[in-house]
Structure 1
Amino acid sequence: MKLLTRNRTTADHHQVDGGRRRSSLAATVAPASVEVTPRFLRVGDGYAATLVVTGYPAEVGPAWLEPLLSWPGRLDLSLHIDPLPAPVAASRLRNQRARFESSRRADERHGRLADPFVEAAADDAAELAQRLARGVAKLFRVGLYLTVHARTEPELLAACAQVKAAAASTLIEVQPATWRHLPGWTTTLPLASDNLQMRRTMDTQALAAAFPLASADLPAPLPGDPPTTGGVLYGVNPDSQGIVWWDRWAQENHNSVVLARSGAGKSYFVKLDVLRNLYQGMQVVVIDPEDEYTRLADAVGGSIVRLGRPGVKINPLDLPAGDNRPDVLTRRGLFLHTLISVLLGHEPPPAERAALDRAILAVYRRAGITADPATHHRPAPLLKDLTAILHADGEEAGRQLAARLAPWAAGSFSALFDAPTTTRPDGHLVVWSLRHLPDELRTVGTLLALDAIWRSVDTPGRARLATRRLVVVDEAWLLLRDGQGAKFLFTMSKAARKRNAGLSMITQDVADVLGTDLGQAVVSNAATQILLKQAPQAIDNLADAFGLTAGERRMLLSARIGHGLLICGTQRTAFESISSPAEHRLATTTPSDLVGFDDGEEEP
């Protein structure tokens, strides 16, 4: 073991001596002491060890050094490159090909099977010789060295093991520079000096792919492009500790989808997204199946519509207020067809659909409502009026449909539809709570809430473009599992962008989303895609749908709460949700965190 010391006081004297100013500069920036051992260096108050890359994969892709460059610890990576003159490169390559050919002929002469490794190496050498002769490629002598830094010796050993594992993930073999850590450390300093001289010959293509052209963070604006001004904080990148700042409104569409298993933190993340969009003056509407957003709405002065509570009524036959377009009655009739299909659980047969269409037109005429916009202010009929006309229909199909709709018109499930609409919420945040609806009405309640939201978004005139609107559908599988409901959600996702609105869908049932063509279409129509922790049973379908790499699959299977992957086209980055104490108070649903919150108790 050697101990090298440098006295800074002596260096100060060197500064006086004009002939030794270079050594005084080195003394100023150098550490106070360097302790050399066979396994590591002690540099100042820290520890360092150098690893030498001794084995490379047979084939490499772009940014093949990215796993090492994105390692979260302190790592100095040094790449020493010396070009080989063309005559020297050609001579060495010719000798190498001669050795390969000699081995092949020796195996053939002795009747041995051909060595597949020699065959592959000979073919690669022949191809490289042709490219070298044409001037397409050049050869270089390359040395790759890594110096790992840590505070203590145990931390250094653990860090070296992690770096070896990261290198092994890309088939790179590293070995410690035992007894040579001091030359290794100086090799990785910016001195352009390779004191280890452990080189490997590479061609232009492999060397170009080694440069760090990829990053764990989202790409920054190109030089000359205007800086980004919008967006919200999604969290921090656990790989680089960089900020993940995302603007959904700057993408090709404003929709997003959040897929995660139960308990992965998807609602927590969405609530933070909602709160931060509210900071920027946007209007947000949430469909909340489990009363998870009510504390947030109370805190910011939002409105809450509790469907299923006594006195809360929604009339699906209402016409949009203030909409004077000539086809408004036709569009309302088409929605009623969708609603009836959802109530019945399937699309009615053709005869019943024809009877339903006749009854829709007749019920509005009986209420005095026609295509004339001047009649649209009159009170709308109710669902029980529609079933009464169906019951009086001259055909058997109409009477059968009326009998099937009886539970919702005048039976056990009629409490939501048996009176005119009692609430028309408005404001910067509106929460449609479905907690008090029976399970049989959850899908219908989601559809009615979406319809009311869409009517507020799809208002004629330029006034609707003045304010951005974000529509959040939590537990979207309630609609996606139903054919007609999925069609309505898909249509809304396609048309929202033109109305300056964005649709955010959250679900924990990946099978219902990716198991149907409509579900896949809804996901593909969302420019912003968020994947949090996934179940092993769903990861294969998810990997095929989103083109996940093996590393991304492992990350999603082992992700902690709030950790996930942001995907937008070819851009993707990992992130961890972060929040302030005030935001955490409004977003958390963990019972232990809610203890002591005055507003954390459920409303009776």
Structure 2
Amino acid sequence: MKLRHRSQPADGGCQPDGLAAAVAPAAVEVTPRFLRVGDGYAATLVVTGYPAEVGPAWLEPLLSWPGRLDLALHIDPLPAPVAAARLRNQRARFESSRRADAGRGKLPDPSVEAAADDAADLAQRLARGAAKLFRVGLYLTVHARTEDELREACAQVKAAAASTLIEVQPATWRHLAGWTTTLPLATDSLQMRRTMDTAALAAAFPLASADLPAPLPGDPPADGGVLYGVNPDSSGIVWWDRWAQENHNSVVLARSGAGKSYFVKLEILRNLYQQVQVAVIDPEDEYQRLADAVGGSVVRLGMPGVKVNPLDLPGGDSRPDVLTRRGLFLHTLISVLLGQQPPPAERAALDRAILAVYRAAGITADPATHHRPAPLLRDLAGCLHGDTDPAAGQLAARLAPWVEGSFSHLFDGPTTIRPDGHLVVWSLRHLPDELRTVGTLLALDAIWRQVDAPSRQAARRLVVVDEAWLLLRDGEGARFLFRMSKAARKRHAGLTVITQDVADLLGTDLGQAVVANAATQILLKQAPQAIDAIGDAFGLTAGERRLLLAARVGTGLLISGTNRTSFDAIASQAEDQLCTTRPSELADLDEGDDL
């Protein structure tokens, strides 16, 4: 049997007007198992069973279901005298059951014992005014385009509810009342209620959204930002402006092959559209195709003829402490070269040698002398040899491989590169593994001298350090990266740290400080061995941990303060060709270029 309700014209055929005429469906067809509302179908599910214990956001599996679902929560507070009387009667029934079982010589029923203890605890909280009781009805109306899709959608909602021990039943023969119950009419036509206390009801409130929060009423609309992707939970757009946060830094953590470099290249490309100047430290030549496409420059450290003199002074910097800051960086560089910080006697000898080598080159604290050619690393080693302190000779001997040995080709001449432009990629591919940490530090120093230049206009600059574990595994290198993350915001710059080695980042205080100074945090697919460290460091829920363990390539979690949302990185065909690193796709692209 089908009951058909159609809107009837009133007053001799006059059409209805007002809000009802604008929003009401043309027809509503009622059947035992569903409604046909206009051109769509709907069915209402009633929550009849609840888990024994609930935690925060226990309705999240239902709220994040990707289809169209109307969830209505009807709350009716119980007056304190009525609540106390009902709870007293319930406790009396529990106590009667316990005494009856004891009189018959039966063992106590664990479920009755637990319910009696819970009722006693709730009675005490009611007496102290720490809790109240409410009559709560929870209803779900599922919408679909066809009857078959509705049947499948209802099955999916039931499965999502069962995952959190919520039992639902269809409102058979009462779907019309269920549909009106889930409309914003504040009317519960089903009256399928359950008594809850304040804590359980508060945990049921959907205070978290799958999407990032919109601006508050009265606040100006946000401008700027780049597209990160699509939210798989709500199909909404994830649009993020890192330059509008309290700092402009970000960290990207993922296992190998999870798509972290692909995502970062997309962000770089979209920031270039907004006139952001970008510098990248690239260990594996993954950014060369992008640099060639946008007219950027590539510095290939380790190639013949490419020299970097770490004793160069910043050009155009007339501040009186330039020489002092260069000396401090040389202390950091020597520590990285040696793999550890030198003993105090060797550090004192190094400090004397730094001052002496600049004096020998005619460079003093006077800015007028800073244009003179800077000394080389071998000149510094010569000053150490000329020092009568035995510690100086010992330090010079330890620096021999970098001055005249196997690793000297990077430092044995004046600087031959002057990188500048909207995109500069520092390639480390041609450096041996023993020199990659040093190459990363030298590239960061050259980038920072441009960012920190006092004559530099207030242009936004993005510094990307790929495979940052190369620097984080060294104590002095990690300190340099930490200082850079602290000072970047004041120079209108942002630092992006990318790593697949979570232990190097989260296993040290400096690594954790780098994460803490990143307002934008991106987590992609994680290895099972690292998920516990990631979850504890970022306060991930159990659902978020499962998401990162089972995430597809390019799917991740965006975290910024209390805001967090999942996203799927998306790219156009042209962007995908510039950002992909899959060997098969790169081979096809190279064949297409040859043709």
**TM-score in terms of structure 1 length:** 0.90
Shift of 1:476: 0.5
Give the counterpart letter for 2:342 in structure 1: P
Distance 2:128 2:503 in 1: 54
Q: Does structure 1 residue 67 correspond to structure 2 residue 66?
A: no
564, 570, 574: which one aligns with 1:582: 574
Give the counterpart letter for 1:215 in structure 2: S
Aligned partner of 1:93 in structure 2 is 87
What per-residue deviation string (whole Å, max 9, x for no partner) do you get for residues 537-562 of structure 1? Answer: 11111111111110000000000111
Q: Give the conservation status (yes or no) of the 8 Å contact 1:464–1:499.
A: no
380, 400, 410: which one aligns with 1:406: 400
Aligned partner of 1:486 in structure 2 is 478
- Once the two structures are superposed, the pairs formed by residues 325-336 of structure 1 within 5 Å of their partners are 325-336=319-330
Q: Give the conservation status (yes or no) of the 8 Å contact 1:295–1:600.
A: no
212, 222, 227: which one aligns with 1:228: 222
Q: Give the conservation status (yes or no) of the 8 Å contact 1:465–1:499.
A: no
Aligned partner of 1:365 in structure 2 is 359
Q: Give the conservation status (yes or no) of the 8 Å contact 1:65–1:210.
A: yes
Q: Does structure 1 residue 214 correspond to structure 2 residue 208?
A: yes
What per-residue deviation string (whole Å, max 9, x for no partner) do you get for residues 106-154 of structure 1? Answer: 3444455544443443344345445656776554432222232334555
> Compared with structure 1, are the counterparts of its residues 320 and 190 closer, same or farther at alpha carbon in structure 2 (3 Å cutoff)?
closer
> Compared with structure 1, are the counterparts of its residues 80 and 327 closer, same or farther at alpha carbon in structure 2 (3 Å cutoff)?
closer
Give the counterpart letter for 1:414 in structure 2: S
SS at the partner of 2:206?
Answer: coil
Aligned partner of 1:3 in structure 2 is 2
Equivalences, count: 592
Which deviates the most, 564-573 or 100-109?
Answer: 100-109
Q: Does structure 1 residue 379 correspond to structure 2 residue 373?
A: yes
Q: Give the conservation status (yes or no) of the 8 Å contact 2:30–2:176.
A: no
Distance 1:89 1:353 in 2: 76
What per-residue deviation string (whole Å, max 9, x for no partner) do you get for residues 260-301 of structure 1? Answer: 011111111111111121111121111111111122222222
Identity %: 81
- Once the two structures are superposed, the pairs formed by residues 449-598 of structure 1 within 5 Å of their partners are 449-460=443-454, 463-464=455-456, 466-597=458-589
Q: What is the alpha-carbon root mean square deviation over aligned residues? A: 2.9
Give the counterpart letter for 1:472 in structure 2: V
Q: Give the conservation status (yes or no) of the 8 Å contact 1:237–1:576.
A: yes
> Compared with structure 1, are the counterparts of its residues 45 and 204 closer, same or farther at alpha carbon in structure 2 (3 Å cutoff)?
same
12, 18, 39: which one aligns with 1:17: 12
Distance 1:28 1:314 in 2: 70
Which deviates the most, 508-517 or 108-117?
Answer: 108-117
Give the counterpart letter for 2:192 in structure 1: M
> Compared with structure 1, are the counterparts of its residues 194 and 407 closer, same or farther at alpha carbon in structure 2 (3 Å cutoff)?
same
What per-residue deviation string (whole Å, max 9, x for no partner) do you get for residues 1-20 of structure 1? Answer: x33446x7xx67x4563699
> Compared with structure 1, are the counterparts of its residues 27 and 506 closer, same or farther at alpha carbon in structure 2 (3 Å cutoff)?
closer
Shift of 1:471: 0.7
Distance 2:484 2:80 in 1: 63
For structure 2, the 5+ residue unaligned runs are: none
Aligned partner of 2:279 in structure 1 is 285
Shift of 1:328: 1.5
Distance 2:469 2:318 in 1: 34
Give the counterpart letter for 2:378 in structure 1: K
Shift of 1:374: 1.5
**TM-score in terms of structure 2 length:** 0.91
Which deviates the most, 193-202 or 255-264?
Answer: 193-202
Q: Give the conservation status (yes or no) of the 8 Å contact 2:469–2:501.
A: yes
SS at the partner of 2:399?
Answer: helix
Distance 1:115 1:26 in 2: 58
Distance 1:279 1:241 in 2: 25
- Once the two structures are superposed, the pairs formed by residues 31-430 of structure 1 within 5 Å of their partners are 34=29, 36=31, 46-84=40-78, 87-129=81-123, 138-152=132-146, 155-177=149-171, 181=175, 184-185=178-179, 187-189=181-183, 194-430=188-424
Shift of 1:313: 0.8
Which deviates the most, 349-358 or 325-334?
Answer: 349-358
What per-residue deviation string (whole Å, max 9, x for no partner) do you get for residues 376-415 of structure 1? Answer: 1110111111222223332333233222222221222211
What per-residue deviation string (whole Å, max 9, x for no partner) do you get for residues 226-259 of structure 1? Answer: 3322322211211112221222222222111000
What per-residue deviation string (whole Å, max 9, x for no partner) do you get for residues 398-434 of structure 1? Answer: 2332222222212222111111001111112111111
SS at the partner of 1:430?
Answer: strand
Give the counterpart letter for 1:483 in structure 2: G
Give the counterpart letter for 1:526 in structure 2: A
What per-residue deviation string (whole Å, max 9, x for no partner) do you get for residues 292-340 of structure 1? Answer: 1122222222222111111111001111111222222122112111111
SS at the partner of 1:234?
Answer: strand
